[in-house]
Amino acid sequence: MRNAALNAIVQNSRQRITVNVEKEAFGEVQIPGKGVGVVAKRSLHKGDLLISEPPSLVVHLDMRAAVPEKQRLRMQLEGVDRLPLLTKSETMGLMGHWGGDPVEDILDTNSFTVTVHAANDHHALFIQTSVSLCFLEYIAHMGRYPDVLYSRGSIMIAGQSENILIKKHLKCLLLLSDSCMYTFDPKTFTQNMYTIRDISPGEELTISYIDPTVTHKERQEAISFWGFNCSCHTCTMSPEAIEQSDERIQRINRYKKLLNDWSTPQNNATPEMARTLVDLYTKENLWCHIADGYRLAAHAYNAVRDRGNALRMANLAFGYGLQAWRYMGRKMIDMLDLMTSPEEHWTWGQRVVIDTA
């Protein structure tokens, strides 16, 4: 009986970890001038879960400083060796770029930042929902393995800050305006990809791969780090459209700063400014950030004791936050507190209504 149980455990360890993919929701297509992309096969609604998958390899970030290199590389290799056979094969089939130790190269080439214990305290490589999304054009530019990237399973090599490998399944065109977003839940150790707005059949599924709340010049400088030119609509606008977009981005950042300033009850952080901020997010297609716009609007209305509009904005913030913030963090709790009792929320009556008449 004991041997049978052990054999069952061994066999189970050789199986692939369950990955949830809504295969009927999207499909790969050739898009002229852009290459392989992913489009919706049916109508998708805001908040639809498209992909959910656990990591295959986790490595403590501090290992490079705390562990001698030879020992660290050996630990990483042993971690891969202990993966299920299929997972090991797929993991070692990942592309590298920098050379040197194969496992280290895979991590260096494809790792991302995630939060497990503190904000952005780990590097993570998400093949399915991150690496293929953020490095697809880079990989194609390098001319290496354009259809790459496989791995899955799960093993913790050390501590808290990690590099994480997850299986690639989805190819999305890389745009600065997004229709989807991915989140890593440290409680379930799962990477999930959601729609952030309603998507029509035939529409591309896209994810923003750099900070879209900076100017066009700053975005291009960030993109050049990866060695390719982005051909998305946002990056190829006319000079006039770029100037208008930059002006909206600058207003967004200026309004956010004012709306977050609670140092004095008398400032220009009015509900009208908050509504304009939400409009600017919409015009710039910053759907992954619009939850913060609604949250600041809820605060602004509550600060002048406009209970009805504060509740309306908090409800919208919470709805978008289910995707953008995902797990029950500080922002979600803040909006729940406001919706539960606006009068008892910390923002109630904290700003003076400025008479502009």
Residue 265's pLDDT band, with cuts at 50, 70 and 90, is: confident
Higher pLDDT, 28 or 136: 28
Query: Max alpha carbon distance in the chain (Å)?
Result: 85
If you average pLDDT over each of 28-32, 34-38, 156-160, 188-192, which comes out highest?
188-192
Q: Which of 247, 260, 321, 312 is nearest to 288 (CA)?
A: 321
Residue 85: is its pLDDT beyond 90? no
Element (H, E) at 132: helix 132-134
Instruction: Calculate mean pLDDT across residues 206-224.
Output: 78
**Distance between CA atoms of residues 102 and 121, nearest Å:** 24
E-strand ranges in 108-200 read 112-114, 122-126, 162-166, 173-174, 180-185, 190-195
327-353 tens-digit pLDDT: 668 999 999 999 999 999 999 999 976
Say if residue 274's pLDDT is above 90: yes
Q: Which residues pair with 182 in a beta bridge?
A: 193
Q: Which of 280-294, 313-327, 328-342 has the lowest mean pLDDT?
A: 313-327
33-81 pLDDT, tens digit each: 555 667 889 999 988 888 887 777 777 777 788 899 999 999 989 988 8
